[in-house]
Structure 1
């Protein structure tokens, strides 16, 4: 899900040589260019020529929505994949329940297929978060081969940085950076955390935002309008992390025109919440620990890793460790406090660099917290951690669709079932969702209708992808959603973290083959996958 938006460390080169060149840096985004079924493409001198209008070249309307061609959305860094894109904006009502109300605009980029004769049904990419901007994920889509023979369409979800209005709040990002030097779950930290949330809300409301309109129902309608406004008869959907949550609601509320759906890093709307994040953490941690136990060198050097981790959580929660580290781009030393909650949250992201986790935990157990502290602080203080996330959209989803339908007792029970040895103070704050209930009390948006929590029942062909090391949206969610998707293919890619499309060449091949043949994707590459080569550090004894 990409509830944890902090950039994640780069994988080591020896593992990455069989993976995508993409680096997992939080939640992901992408783009594409498609032509309607009536258009015919001819190739000549490196230029695509169309006998009919190409997507993104003419203004079109769809009900109250309107697409206007225009410049490509600005991204924090230049993205080469957008160089040939056709772009524009989709204008939609901010709140469809209030006719005649404010209009908002969403950035659109259509990345052309690599082939001269693209297939008529493009792929639309749904970003993670909530709050990540799809246009910024164009490189991931292209690096993974999604535009091999189909255009890829990327639209910024409402509130994200290439939309208007922008519902980012830098003050929250700045607080998250400062919080690495605070006790993670302390009441004093909670007060500061909630105050940052309140300040963000006040700023956005002061600019005229209707915070109740930033949710999955409105976003799903945005995508339904986009398809019609671009003149596309049928398209395919690919969602990652939180984008799977939106995809499952979109295909339930607006199934028209959807040929197939790929979901990677699955977050079911019917179970989303704190208990699910605890369950997912357990699944991802266990996958990594099992791989170490089955590796003779790792098991010999780091035996009983699960017990070591859980002991460290208890000990740090009772007696937090304070250290200072050097973070790239910050000349001054950074103070880091590691308590039990901080360790759990670090571990949730650290499955992206699984090779080093056993060594990092062992060093911490022997009084050397620097490796973990550097990663924990480095993600929060990275330039990519500031101004990228639309907190207005994130809280709109969390506070209208999740918190109203999960009690505090249910959340803690989910944590206790997953990690019975953890102290209650750790279980009180689910991984990636720290202080969510008091935040939502401040955010103060109405609950979504109970139907938002319905399971998605559909016969649209669906690829349900998960990673064996995914500690953010556990692999068990694949079989769960497939129970009510009659044409689902469930694939778990072993040894991979959250969002396997970003890290696994095999997952990319499976995904591209799925869109070619949604009822029979090619999964043969799974048989050749090998576990990571764990780092073996010098003995601490």
Structure 2
């Protein structure tokens, strides 16, 4: 079947691009229980195999794990080094909600990040219906929470928590971050971790080994954000046994480089502002959002605000600094919901920074140890950074946001100081083997949200062109990670897994962005 592109009725402007490859702020801090189970840590490598064991015990219990079958996939840390050590990857097989008629082929999930706690995504997947009539398989990507080794960097979490009280792109914040990165790298390498082995090629091979180890003839793949990058790499290198593949909030392997972040940021913001302009009440109340944003970025960069505000949900007030770079980063990261961004910018321009200040304060509350920054840095520094420079980032920023201060445009949104970080992290360049298009006849669903400022929706088009039996769906008014936010996207995904070459996309036709928040003058 020829590929189809479904563009929902939407007021969005032309699409541009980027990807948030990982977020570092977390929810309320809590102690993290280890994966409770016997067995040694990393040891000598052998043939990949699955070893049953107890499920992880997260700080907040996950209902679906009560009925899951769990264990570890044991794989070589570095497949290029025969005889090296083995690492353990946490796995959960979650049964279908309707076990009387389960589909034969399960869904395997590939999380975003890289480095996010995969198990923390399970409630969203279950609520989205991923295991309604088929098993759902979740595996923590190498280095993630509950794996052995776990490439968490509490040093970076603590630095991120302190950075909210500093200017976003200034030297004190940079020094704080680089010191934390050096400490984490030194600790991980002293523990024997081969940082060069934590990359997308090895991640993809892990999933290929998991299918074989679980004796699954065929399965379906669903990945979002970095998980789409991983899914496309997996499809390219290990196409055997893949029945269908759905990717959400696309990070194209061929285009995923650091300067790419700027075009995605501009695309998402342009689309949000265009959607506001298409709603009469929003257009009347907030008539020139581009000008308002530019004015506020320039003003805050020249004269940052220093405030003491409580984090969202309450708690002791914390010192935050709101400058131009922090403002942009909060918008790109959707720390303020898209439907509230016009109102928040208008309030800010009228002397009320509360929405953005509280969103900045949220970064002070870190889930220390939950995020595998080690995986993030190994992927970013070996696959996204090589071949480009700080000058290329600045050039891309100037093209995306003409006239903005260079001090803002010098830092890629969500990944500040990345080139200096990579000089410390010091992993080999893998760009030539990773920046490759995936060309495949496997049925594919390509999902994007028009408001996505992390992985701009327009970049999905090139990916879809290379997947000859693909269906592209654009959901208006949705930001990053579409499926959990859109009941229509959930219907389309279920229909796709039931009928991969002919999914029902009818619900998309009448979708429009929700009304924006309108505050009184």
TM-score over 0.5 (shorter chain): yes
Alignment CA distance shift 1:515-1:454 (3 Å) = same
User: How far did 1:100 drift?
Assistant: 1.1
Distance in 1 separating the partners of 2:118 and 2:317: 34
The residue correspondences of 1:167-178 to structure 2 (distance < 5 A) are 167-178=151-162
Which ranges in structure 1 are unaligned for 5 or more consecutive residues? 10-24, 26-61
Q: Which of 327, 331, 334 does residue 311 from structure 2 map onto?
A: 327
Residue 63 of structure 1 contacts residue 225 of structure 1 at CA under 8 Å; is this kept in 2? no
The residue correspondences of 1:363-378 to structure 2 (distance < 5 A) are 363-378=347-362
Distance in 2 separating the partners of 1:221 and 1:286: 38
The residue correspondences of 1:428-443 to structure 2 (distance < 5 A) are 428-443=410-425
User: How far did 1:397 drift?
Assistant: 0.3
Spell out, residue by residue over 1:32-65, the C-alpha distance to the aligned partner (whole angstroms, 9 max, x if none): xxxxxxxxxxxxxxxxxxxxxxxxxxxxxx9720
Per the alignment, residue 455 of structure 2 pairs with 473
Residue 386 of structure 2 contacts residue 431 of structure 2 at CA under 8 Å; is this kept in 1? no
Distance in 1 separating the partners of 2:506 and 2:344: 34
2:21 equivalent to 1:3: yes
Moved more, 504-513 or 352-361: 352-361
Q: Which of 217, 233, 243 does residue 227 from structure 2 map onto?
A: 243
Alignment CA distance shift 1:477-1:436 (3 Å) = same
Alignment CA distance shift 1:408-1:7 (3 Å) = closer
Distance in 2 separating the partners of 1:143 and 1:7: 23
Residue 22 of structure 2 contacts residue 376 of structure 2 at CA under 8 Å; is this kept in 1? no
User: How far did 1:2 drift?
Assistant: 4.4
Per the alignment, residue 266 of structure 1 pairs with 250
User: How far did 1:169 drift?
Assistant: 1.0
User: How far did 1:300 drift?
Assistant: 1.2
SS in 1 for 2:453: coil
2:55 equivalent to 1:72: yes
Per the alignment, residue 197 of structure 1 pairs with 181
SS in 2 for 1:228: helix
User: How far did 1:331 drift?
Assistant: 4.1
Distance in 1 separating the partners of 2:124 and 2:76: 30
Per the alignment, residue 389 of structure 2 pairs with 407
Distance in 2 separating the partners of 1:95 and 1:296: 57
Spell out, residue by residue over 1:203-242, the C-alpha distance to the aligned partner (whole angstroms, 9 max, x if none): 1112111111111011101000000000011111100111
The residue correspondences of 1:24-39 to structure 2 (distance < 5 A) are none
Moved over 6 A (4+): none
User: How far did 1:149 drift?
Assistant: 1.3
User: How far did 1:7 drift?
Assistant: 5.4
Spell out, residue by residue over 1:354-393, the C-alpha distance to the aligned partner (whole angstroms, 9 max, x if none): 2211111111111111211101221x1335x432210111
Per the alignment, residue 206 of structure 1 pairs with 190
Residue 352 of structure 1 contacts residue 498 of structure 1 at CA under 8 Å; is this kept in 2? no
2:103 equivalent to 1:119: yes
Distance in 2 separating the partners of 1:493 and 1:63: 45
Count of paired positions: 487
Alignment CA distance shift 1:505-1:329 (3 Å) = closer
Q: Which of 346, 370, 393 does residue 330 from structure 2 map onto?
A: 346
User: How far did 1:408 drift?
Assistant: 2.8
Distance in 2 separating the partners of 1:528 and 1:352: 26
Residue 23 of structure 2 contacts residue 113 of structure 2 at CA under 8 Å; is this kept in 1? yes
Distance in 2 separating the partners of 1:291 and 1:439: 37
Residue 108 of structure 1 contacts residue 135 of structure 1 at CA under 8 Å; is this kept in 2? no
Per the alignment, residue 86 of structure 1 pairs with 69
User: How far did 1:330 drift?
Assistant: 6.8
Per the alignment, residue 444 of structure 1 pairs with 426
SS in 1 for 2:337: helix
Bigger RCO of structures 1 and 2 (CA < 8 A, at least 6 apart) = 2
Residue 354 of structure 1 contacts residue 532 of structure 1 at CA under 8 Å; is this kept in 2? no
Q: Which of 210, 220, 227 does residue 226 from structure 1 map onto?
A: 210
Per the alignment, residue 87 of structure 2 pairs with 104
Residue 298 of structure 1 contacts residue 536 of structure 1 at CA under 8 Å; is this kept in 2? yes
Q: Which of 290, 300, 308 does residue 292 from structure 2 map onto?
A: 308
Residue 284 of structure 1 contacts residue 351 of structure 1 at CA under 8 Å; is this kept in 2? no
Residue 401 of structure 1 contacts residue 452 of structure 1 at CA under 8 Å; is this kept in 2? yes
User: How far did 1:302 drift?
Assistant: 1.1
User: How far did 1:272 drift?
Assistant: 0.9
SS in 2 for 1:89: strand
2:402 equivalent to 1:423: no
> Normalising by structure 2, what TM-score?
0.90
> Normalising by structure 1, what TM-score?
0.87
Alignment CA distance shift 1:8-1:419 (3 Å) = farther
Distance in 2 separating the partners of 1:352 and 1:473: 17
Distance in 2 separating the partners of 1:483 and 1:493: 19
Distance in 1 separating the partners of 2:164 and 2:25: 14
User: How far did 1:293 drift?
Assistant: 1.0
User: How far did 1:326 drift?
Assistant: 1.1
User: How far did 1:75 drift?
Assistant: 2.3
Which ranges in structure 2 are unaligned for 5 or more consecutive residues? 1-18, 30-44
Residue 46 of structure 2 contacts residue 76 of structure 2 at CA under 8 Å; is this kept in 1? no
